[in-house]
Amino acid sequence: MSGGHAWSGRARRLVVAVPYLWLLIFFAVPFAIVLRMSVSQNAIASPPYLPLFDPAAGWAGVKEFAGALTFDNFQRVFSDSIYTYAYLKSLQIAAMSTAILLAIAFPVAYGMACAPRRWQPVLVMAVVLPFWTAFLIRIYAWINILQRDGLLNDVLMALGLIGEPAGWLSSDTAIFIGIVYSYLPFMVLPIYSVLEKMDQSLLEAAADLGCPRWKAFWLVTVPLAMPGVLAGALLCFIPVIGEFVIPDLLGGSGTMMIGQALWVDFFGNLDWPAASAIAIVLLALLLGPIMIYQHLQMRALEGRRW
């Protein structure tokens, strides 16, 4: 395979370079731009920040540019309690939604994996089906369902569970409903994929060695599902922290997640440097979870489960 004459060394280097080129263009360069903006100053100009780098001025231009950079935005992000609140609220909402997602997704995935083989593709299809409708439309549909004269109140009142319409919309409950609904497939599928691959003879072995069914579930199924659980949890937790659309459309004015704070600074206040600083801090926060997720993915690629 190696050193075949069809593959010259240069061609091979080119193939290896493609992913790096991709990362450079779509991650490194945008990141550099955001980083540079986060240490700039807000200005009423176009673009709305200073300093601007003037290549024509040569070395003096570089010195002038570097001298004008500032960490004021980061200082603001850390000192202004609005941002601290938004970060903490985002973490709290992400952690709680991940827990709720897990509680719902595990039984769903387990049921799917236990279903007859020929039904499983249909069930996977059913989990993925919502993706066929645009995300925004689905969230707007939830506004419809959750509003005062919406479907949810109609149903609950018809069942006699509540006497008068409750205000579901514009609350943290609505945010949780929206997040859990939107992210459920991302939690179900990784868990399903590990459960589905599990060797059924392991459960027979556990029974043979003296485990009743429920005990075998805790001692064998759950530990073996952990890689899927962890992957699903990170796959939900990481993007939920930066979620903007769901809290903006379903949440109340009292709740601000960090994605909304960023949006307000960028589009409302036209303060690009502050918004960039928020984004950089957010990325730093998520670096840990992202690295754990990458590590899991690498292990999965190496074909090792443990």
Partner 1 sequence: MVDDNASAAPLVRIEGAAKHFAGVPAVDGVSLDIAKGEFFALLGPSGCGKTTLLRMLAGFEIPDAGRILLDGEDIVPVPPYRRPVNMMFQSYALFPHLSVESNVAFGLKQEGLPRAEIKARVDEMMKTISIGQFASRKPHQLSGGQRQRVALARALVKRPKLFLLDEPLAALDKKLRAQTQFELKELQRRLGLTFVIVTHDQEEAMIMADRIGVMDRGRLVQVGTPAEIYEHPNSRWVAEFIGEANILRGEMVGREAVRTPAGTLRVAACGAAQGEVFVAIRPEKIRLSARRPDLEPDNCFAGRVSALAYRGDMSLCTVALQSGAELKVAVPNFMRGQSHVRGGDSVFASIDAAACVVLTQ
DSSP string, 45-76: SSSSEEPPP-GGGHHHHHHHHHHH---HHHHH
Q: Which two tokens stand for residue 284?
A: 């730093």
Q: Which two tokens stand for residue 61?
A: 């231009």
- Beta carbons within 8 Å of 161's beta carbon, 6+ residues apart: none
User: Does residue 113 bind partner 1 (CB under 8 A)?
Assistant: no
Q: How far is the CB of 306 from partner 1 (least distance, A)?
A: 6
H or E stretch including 22?
helix 9-23
List 169, 177, 206, 240, residue binding partner 1 (CB under 8 A): 206
* Span from 118-126, 163-171, 203-211, 265-273 in contact with partner 1 (CB under 8 A): 203-211
- Beta carbons within 8 Å of 48's beta carbon, 6+ residues apart: 42, 270, 271, 272
User: Does residue 114 bind partner 1 (CB under 8 A)?
Assistant: no
Q: How far is the CB of 195 from partner 1 (least distance, A)?
A: 14
Q: Rounded to the nearest 5 degrees, what angle is found at the Cα of 48, between the Cα atoms of 42 and 54?
A: 100
Place of tokens 């001025």: 57
User: Does residue 306 bind partner 1 (CB under 8 A)?
Assistant: yes
Q: How far is the CB of 213 from partner 1 (least distance, A)?
A: 8
List 123, 220, 234, 256, residue binding partner 1 (CB under 8 A): 220
276/295 Cα distance (integer angstroms): 27
**8 Å CB contact between 20 and 26:** no
List 6, 161, 209, 284, residue binding partner 1 (CB under 8 A): 209
Q: How far is the CB of 173 from partner 1 (least distance, A)?
A: 37
User: Does residue 191 bind partner 1 (CB under 8 A)?
Assistant: no
Q: How far is the CB of 229 from partner 1 (least distance, A)?
A: 13
What are the residues binding partner 1 (CB under 8 A)? 199, 201-202, 204-212, 215, 219-220, 223-224, 226, 304-306
